[in-house]
Amino acid sequence: MKSGLQMTKNRHMMIVIVGRPNVGKSSIFNRIIGSRKAIVESASGTTRDRLYADIKWKGKEFTIVDTGGFDTVRGRDMTALILKQLYAAIDQADIIFFVTDATVGILPQDIEFSNRLRKTSKRIYLIANKVDDKSQTDKAMEFFELGIGSPYAVSAMNGIGIEKLLDDVTRSIAKPEPSDSTARPVSVAVVGRPNVGKSSYINSIFKEDRVIVHPVAGTTRDAVDTELVYKDRDYLLIDTAGIRHNTKINESADFYGSVRSKEAVKRCDAAIVLIDGFDGLREDDERIIDLVITEGKALIVAVNKWDLTTGMEMSKYGDMLIKKMSVLKNYPIIFMSCKTGRNVTDSLDLVWSIYERSRVPVKDDDLAETLRSLNNAPEVKNKKIKLLSLVQEGTTPPAFVFGTKYPGSVTENSKRYIENFFRKSYNYEGVPIRIRYDRMKPVRNK
């Protein structure tokens, strides 16, 4: 790929879960990974993009992938996009889990899909799901007719048959080589309102259709994790569903998608909040920015669709955003176009530098100098505030504690001055800062 970008260096064996809609693919995915990462709904078509998770099973490591359902109903453009993602996942796969529904038996779509899968060179495991009682195992036997081999009778609901399936699959997977590396990727949540270009951002980074892009809002429903290496740096990009205000959520899948997006913010190291350059800063944009800052994550505001704006200078547009939401003066604003690729990879460099700054602890000598400087500053000294001590209690985000005789005497103006002093002294642009004031008695000389 271009611009020094590549997929992760050491790829695990990849197992892709496929099948027609509503056979329980996402339920099996969730059962294997041990959490509800994929949204499960009774309505078909809930899963659209590819969902990845790295798994370790009895010392063996592999990557499991959930996909959208195989549905060849004509006249639905979303169906074509889902199928494109499904076929891309099959091409990537080393092993395929072909899931069927034991409660309804073989359907024409199962036959059509099995014929297609047999033309691949992939190793295929046929799974008859929804065998929720061992006495119902005979229901799985009719799937021999598909000509793919002996079916595994499993239940995603209660876990029947899952352990045997994984034991058999991983028997041919080699144990990983010991590694001294303890580095982990920097996780970056790409968040924003529906239809601001989050999925287009991911696709622009990879120069391929990694996730579905569609003009209908709400296309992305799950949080989709994708690893990459850029300039020898490891990233984990998290594409998310659009975050809407609760009163605007109509479907349960949209609700769970919004919940997943908020969870993605909580588990990320940094967030890129995309806003629509043509629409400007909306109320929901402000809520999302507040969420990122409240969670203490490094933040970049990316004004997308800049190619559609005319007659506006970047500096004036940035000033307009800050005037509407003053906290943005502390965070970088980047102007990009996911359509043309302008400044898209630059955002990765910016994320890295901001995150690295947030991780570095301040030296004790520098903290002592900061304490002296603040006590001599008119904005503190004239308010008769005496800061007695200063310690750093954490990083990512940087967190500091001042000891003072009367914490309640520190005015809001003084707090703002102190925060700005930290930002300028330690180059904390893009990083939330936590500063608190604890009661402390002065130490008297004996």
- pLDDT, one tens digit per residue, over 123-147 is 999 999 999 988 888 889 999 999 9
pLDDT at 75 over 90: no
- pLDDT, one tens digit per residue, over 277-329 is 988 999 999 999 999 999 999 999 999 999 888 778 999 999 999 999 999 99
Looking at 1.10.8.100, 3.40.50.720, 1.10.260.30, 3.30.300.20, the CATH number of the domain 364-439 comes to: 3.30.300.20
Q: Averaged over 427-439, what is the pLDDT?
A: 95
pLDDT at 215 over 70: no
Q: Supply angle C-alpha 263, 301, 279, rounded to 5.
A: 100
Query: What percentage of the chain's residues is helix, strand, coil (to nearest 5)?
Result: 35, 20, 40
- Helices 283-294/252-267 angle, 10° precision: 40
- pLDDT, one tens digit per residue, over 240-258 is 776 765 555 455 445 555 6
C-alpha span between 377 and 370 (Å, rounded): 10
pLDDT at 245: 59
Domain with CATH 3.40.50.300 in the chain: 10-170, 186-359
pLDDT at 164: 94
Q: Averaged over 180-187, what is the pLDDT?
A: 71
C-alpha span between 75 and 176 (Å, rounded): 46
- Percent of the chain beyond pLDDT 90? 45
pLDDT at 52 over 80: no
pLDDT at 252: 46
Domain with CATH 3.30.300.20 in the chain: 364-439
Looking at 3.60.9.10, 3.40.50.300, 3.40.50.10860, 3.90.1150.10, the CATH number of the domain 186-359 comes to: 3.40.50.300
Q: Averaged over 390-414, what is the pLDDT?
A: 93
Contact residues for 49 (Cβ-Cβ < 8 A; gap 6+): 68, 85, 199, 211, 212, 220, 221, 222, 224, 239
Residue 360 or residue 44, greater confidence: 360
Full-model pTM: 0.67
- Number of H helices and E strands in the chain, helices first, is 12, 16
C-alpha span between 47 and 41 (Å, rounded): 9
The CATH topology of domain 10-170 is Rossmann fold (3.40.50)
